[in-house]
Structure 1
Amino acid sequence: MKRVRFAPSPTGYLHLGNARTALFNYLFAKHENGSLILRIEDTDLERSKKEYEEMLIEDLKWLGIQWDEGPDVGGNYGPYRQSERLEIYYKYVDKLLKSGDAYYCYCSEEELEKEREKAIAEGRPYRYSGKCRNLTPEERADYEAQGIKPVVRFKVPDKTVIFEDIIRGHVEIDTKEFGDFVIVRQDGMPVYNFVVVIDDALMGITHVIRGEDHLSNTPKQIVIYEALGFNIPQFAHLPIILGEDRTKLSKRHGAVSVRALKDDGFLSEAVFNYLSLLGWHPKDEREILPKEEIIKQFRIEDVNKSPAIFDRTKLRWMNGVYIREILDLEELTKRSVEFFEGFGYKADFEFYKKVMEAIRDSIETLMDIKERAKVFFVDEFPFTDEIVAEVKSDPNFYKVVEIFYEKVKGLDKLTKEDFKTITKEIQKEYGFKGKALFHPIRIALTGESSGVSLDLLVEVIGIERVKFRLKRFLEYFG
């Protein structure tokens, strides 16, 4: 069985780049009838926080990603937090020390800095000199007597590491480019490039799908796999995600975390759909696809090498399609309630549902509710200086509103059909039509020159509120 993992560090919100990585691992596992493992890489004790882990899990679930094993669901290969696996790591550190594939290094920061400065002066990339590679037991004892705490370094063999990346193809990297690297810090904490190998090997990971920023780590990990006699997984390094200005996606491009998109009113299905197209596309070039269809068509071999561009405008468009055409009204309204309430628009569910039905064709995210729904909730809106001037300059403006008010003031209900019937009567009796008829009514009812269809508006807000708004206009300008 094919097994993949998503292994985030709980040091902040789930970035879109990491979310895309999680998504592609999920799609691969589902397409191949394999397993997805969620592993929490929390060995950075200073920056890792439990609340971030909880938010990561919450955001992944919101996005629609489910895993088969993990810290919250268990599994046969736990623990699934690195902070709970330290004894396992130390066992393999000891194994490498005994085999001679690792050694204690007592070099101080000052010594290492001098080596770096020398390398820079000679115009060559820095690589640790290997000074502590062959210390005698006596030399080690002397360092220990001085109270110097060592790091543990992996003894890198001189060779060219070769592997076939599923996305990038043939890769060759000479180990001279990085030299002996640290696998355990002075404080006794094993480092990423070491623990990730132990975890992936013991958890039976067959494919490592991750961002291309990890490409330089891969040869370091391969030599550890080889030293410990582990099976080496297949690697697939995903292309980087860029902003529309072709620079690396960052906060200056706006909301770049899953949490921020959720808060901005994007739907999880739309975000799932959009992220799946960042570096991959279906054979038929469709852009709006349900999750099941994406899983069916997804092949990791079809992922592009070139960077993917995060286009917020396109994401908004796609989200709008999901709002208008895909989510049913009941579900859309359920997800909208917290936005209505957050904007101070208080009503019962059925009223929210009527408003959503009226505005869904004109919004792209649920944040758009704030402006689009305002006319359904605010009865005492201001009349701008521009509107005041317009009303005063056209005597028919006030007259139209007055006529309309006289037509509706005796009614106990006002449906869309009633509105159409009344406006037709006004056209026939007084000759007002088009903008001359509907613009004054709109201003009286909304204070705005454009917006939702008036027949929808009057039916949703009800006759009493229609009367209130019309009477308020007439008193204001009378």
Structure 2
Amino acid sequence: MTTTRFAPSPTGYIHVGNLRTALMNYLIARKAGGTFILRIDDTDPERSKEEYVDAIKQDLEWLGLHWDKVERQSDRLDRYAEAADKLREMGRFYEAFETPTELDLKRKKQLNMGKPPVYDRAALNLSDAEKDALRAERGNGVWRFKLDHERIEWNDGILGDISIDAASVSDPVLIRGDGQVLYTIASVVDDTEMGVTDVVRGSDHVTNTATQIQIIEALGGQCPRFAHHSLLTGPQGEALSKRLGTLALRDLREQGVQPMALLSLMARLGSSDPVELRSDMAELIEGFDVNRFGAAPTKFDVQDLFPLTAKHLQSLPLSDVADAVEDAGVPADLAEPFWAMARENITTLADLKGWWELCRDGAEPLIADEDREFIAEAIALLPDGPFDGETWGTWTKAVKEATGRKGKGLFMPLRKALTGMERGPEMAALLPLLQVIRARG
């Protein structure tokens, strides 16, 4: 069975970069009728916060990305300890004691010599007595996985054939000196024991994948299929990394972005398929293929979400937005005609309030001096209420016959006088909602 996972660290809010990973893994699982796991990677006790765990779940639920089960790495520390012991017994795990400053000096020396800045495995030459002395002086060392110096190869679902020389990569640290288990081994143990078959993540993890493939094989696990999606940039190709904090999903939600608009964009952005608004999750699932995504950096512009949001809102019946219409102050008996009028003229639901204020309170008329007599004559011809969808046509026909005006010279002055705007909703739909005019009728 196809099994995927989304594995956020609860050290902050989900942003659009995280969403790309979550959505791809979700769609793969759902298209195959498989399992989607939400795994909370909370092995860092200092930075992991329960409030972020709750926020992650809220954001996924808002988008409709429902998981089949939740796992937490903090509940599985014993499994990682067992894996570490197994690697030690195999001679693939060793303790190293260099300080960050010493490692930095080693890297600079290697670079000056034209060599790749790879850890030199000096710790492998330490005697037991030397290790004891270093522990006494510095505390426990870090634990590194000893890579086999051979080529690591796999066929990536997005990047194609990948081949990395393990000798060009430092032996990865899997456990810190303070005992904290790091992502590199925890993820391997979890993916193996949870039967994860497909892993999609950012292209910044390619080197991690190479080392993790060797760890998986050392522990006797089955390697999942890997795919590494491109990283997002800003609309001009600029790095998004420093702006991701302002692109948190909850911020987008606060700005009025609709879930289906966001999902429709993120499910196709960077692929060979056009970005088109989809009506529901089933459409997104049916058309998704991770192999259709490219390796080039992918431009993301938050402004692209608002036309999609507007188009999505236009398709919704009143029942889907009834709470927002009520919150805008619209009386229940006017909700249906109000929504029919307003939905073609809003970008987000927050715009409803402004349209209802226009309907309720009217607007400062925009009347040119040359139109004053015309407007006065037109208002005098306004038929008695109640008004309906036919009133505008009946009224303007009468005004045309009485004044001789037609076309733009007829309609534009009337619109500006009634709404204070040069453009907006169809006047046939808006006129019955204008409370001041209704009261006159």
Q: Same fold (TM over 0.5)?
A: yes
Instruction: Please name the residue that 1:300 is paired with.
Output: 290
- Give, as a single letter, the amino acid of the residue that structure 1 aligns with 2:309: N
Evaluate the alpha carbon distance shift between residue 43 and residue 316 of structure 1 in structure 2; reply closer, same or farther with a 3 A threshold: same
- 1:147 deviates by 5.4
Is 1:416 aligned to residue 389 of structure 2? yes
Distance of 1:440 and 1:186 partners within structure 2 = 77
Report how many aligned residue pairs link the two structures. Answer: 440
Q: Partner letter of residue 10 of structure 1?
A: P
String of CA shifts for 1:208-240, please: whole Å, max 9, x gaps.
Answer: 111111111111111211221222212111122
Q: Determine the structure 1 residue equivalent to 2:270.
A: 279
User: Is the 8 Å Cα contact of residues 372 and 451 (structure 1) preserved in structure 2?
Assistant: no
Q: How far apart, in 2, do the equivalents of 1:377 and 1:83 lie?
A: 55
C-alpha separation in 2, matches of 1:271 and 1:233: 28
Partner letter of residue 376 of structure 2? E
> 2:147 & 2:241 partners in 1: Cα distance?
35
1:124 is paired with a residue whose SS is coil
Task: Say if 1:67 and 1:115 are closer, same or farther in 2 by CA, change over 3 A.
Answer: same
1:361 aligns with 2:344: yes
Closer, same or farther in 2 for the Cα pair 1:194/1:252, shift >3 Å?
closer
1:21 counterpart residue number: 21
Alpha carbons of 1:441 and 1:254: their partners in 2 closer, same or farther (altered >3 Å)? farther
Please list, as runs of the form range in 1=range in 2, the aligned pairs for 1:103-118 lying within 5 A after superposition: 103-118=94-109
Give yes or no for the alignment of 1:185 onto 2:173: no
SS state at 1:218 partner? helix
Q: 413, 423, 426: which is aligned to 1:450?
A: 423
| TM-superposed deviation, 1:352 | 4.2
User: For 2:412 and 2:79, how far apart are their aligned partners in 1?
Assistant: 74
Whole-angstrom distance in 1 between the partners of 2:420 and 2:171: 72
Structure 2 partner of 1:328:
317
Contact 1:413/1:462, CA 8 A, preserved across alignment: no
Within-5 A mapping of 1:11-160 = 11-70=11-70, 80-146=71-137, 148-160=139-151
Structure 2 partner of 1:403: 377
- Return closer, same or farther for 1:135/1:377 CA change in 2, 3 Å cut-off: farther
Structure 1 spans left out of the alignment, 5+ residues: 71-79, 469-478
Match of 1:473 in 2: none
Q: Report Cα offsets for 1:124-155 as digits up to 9, x if no partner.
A: 33222212113222222222333522111112
Q: What TM-score does the superposition give when structure 2 sets the normalisation length?
A: 0.90
What is the match of residue 425 of structure 1? Answer: 398
Q: Considering only aligned residues, what root-mean-square deviation do their CA atoms show, in Å?
A: 2.7
The yes-or-no answer on 1:259 pairing with 2:232 is: no
Shift of 1:195: 0.9
State the percentage of identical aligned residues. Answer: 34
Deviation at 1:315, TM superposition (A): 3.5
More displaced 10-residue stretch of structure 1: 19-28 or 40-49: 40-49
Seen in structure 2, the aligned counterparts of structure 1 residues 271 and 197 have a Cα distance that, compared at 3 Å, is same
Deviation of residue 251 (structure 1)?
6.4
Amino acid at match of 2:33: N
CA distance in 1, matches of 2:36, 2:115: 42
Change (3 A) 1:250 1:431: farther
Q: Distance in 2 between matches of 1:107 and 1:254?
A: 34
Going from structure 1 to structure 2, the CA distance change for 1:421 and 1:255 (only over 3 Å counts) comes to: farther
CA distance in 1 between counterparts of 2:72 and 2:244 reads: 32
SS of 1:164's partner is: strand
Seen in structure 2, the aligned counterparts of structure 1 residues 253 and 201 have a Cα distance that, compared at 3 Å, is closer
| Alpha-carbon distance between aligned partners in 2 of 1:307 and 1:426, rounded to the nearest angstrom | 59
Per-residue CA shift, 1:341-366, capped at 9, x if unaligned?
4xxx4233453443221022233333
Equivalents in 1 of 2:16, 2:333: separation in Å?
A: 35
- Does residue 1:317 correspond to 2:317, yes or no? no
> Offset at 1:312?
4.4
Task: Give the secondary structure class of the aligned counterpart of 1:214.
Answer: helix
Distance in 2 (CA, whole Å) between partners of 1:303 and 1:140 is 48
| One-letter amino acid of the structure 2 residue matched with residue 328 of structure 1 | P
Secondary structure of 2:433's aligned partner: helix
User: For residues 302 and 147 of structure 1, do their structure 2 counterparts lie closer, same or farther at Cα, with a shift above 3 Å needed?
Assistant: closer
Q: Which runs of 5+ in 2 are unaligned?
A: none
Counterpart among 178, 181, 200 of residue 209 in structure 1: 200
Evaluate the alpha carbon distance shift between residue 2 and residue 254 of structure 1 in structure 2; reply closer, same or farther with a 3 A threshold: closer
Would you say the 8 A contact 2:3–2:198 is kept in 1?
A: yes
Residues 268-297 of structure 1 deviation map (CA, whole Å, 9 limit, x = unaligned): 122222211113355xx6834443233223
Counterpart Cα distance in 1 of 2:276 and 2:211: 38
In the alignment, the residues of structure 2 paired with residue 210 and residue 415 of structure 1 have an alpha-carbon distance, to the nearest angstrom, of: 55
Kept in 2, the 8 Å contact 1:167–1:300? The answer is yes
SS in structure 1 of the partner of residue 263 of structure 2: helix
**TM-fit CA distance, 1:47:** 2.8
* 1:239 and 1:305 in contact (8 A); partners too: yes
Deviation at 1:31, TM superposition (A): 1.4
**SS of corresponding position for 1:416:** coil
SS at match of 2:191: helix
Whichever residue aligns with residue 343 of structure 2, its letter is R
